[in-house]
């Protein structure tokens, strides 16, 4: 796992929880939606507003500013007003840790 960066302990986030992380100077969110871990850009693509202030529901993250939802797996907006996706990043769970590959950033 030398080429990866640990973001959190594998059991750190309960379903519905998020954690802010910074990797390579980029602000990301590690999200646990119904037991599945995702990593996405922290900021909404519609307005420069933190998605950390929103909530997770059914594999989506909600921006609390205007109510847009984004699919956590693809980053695609699922309702207006957002029409641009957020970036998603692959994570892996090994050795009791959640890892991200820095070159994915």
Give the tens place of pLDDT for each residue, 43-100. 999 988 999 999 999 999 999 999 999 999 999 999 999 999 999 999 999 999 999 9
Asked if residue 2 belongs to a domain, the reply is no
Asked if residue 22 belongs to a domain, the reply is yes
Domains of the chain: total: 1
Chain length of the chain = 105
Asked if residue 76 belongs to a domain, the reply is yes
- Containing 12, the helix (H) or strand (E) segment is none
Judge whether residue 104 has pLDDT over 90.
Answer: no
Q: Which domain holds residue 80?
A: 14-91
Q: Encoding tokens for residue 87?
A: 């970036």
Asked if residue 103 belongs to a domain, the reply is no
Give the tens place of pLDDT for each residue, 20-45. 999 989 999 999 999 999 999 999 99
Place of tokens 């699919």: 71
Place of tokens 């840790």: 97
Asked if residue 45 belongs to a domain, the reply is yes
- Containing 9, the helix (H) or strand (E) segment is strand 5-9
Q: What is the CATH number of the domain that holds 57?
A: 2.102.10.10
CA distance linking residue 34 with residue 72, whole number of Å:
12
């Amino acid at each position: 796992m030398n080429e990866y960066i640990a973001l959190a302990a594998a059991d750190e986030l309960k379903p519905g929880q998020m954690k802010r992380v910074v990797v390579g100077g980029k602000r990301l969110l590690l999200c646990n939606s119904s037991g599945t871990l995702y990593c996405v850009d922290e900021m909404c693509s519609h307005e420069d507003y933190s998605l950390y202030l929103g909530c997770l529901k059914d594999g989506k993250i909600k921006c609390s500013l205007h109510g847009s939802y984004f699919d956590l797996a693809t980053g695609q907006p699922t309702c207006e007003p957002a029409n641009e996706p957020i970036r998603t990043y692959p994570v892996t769970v090994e050795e009791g840790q959640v890892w991200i590959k820095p070159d994915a950033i």
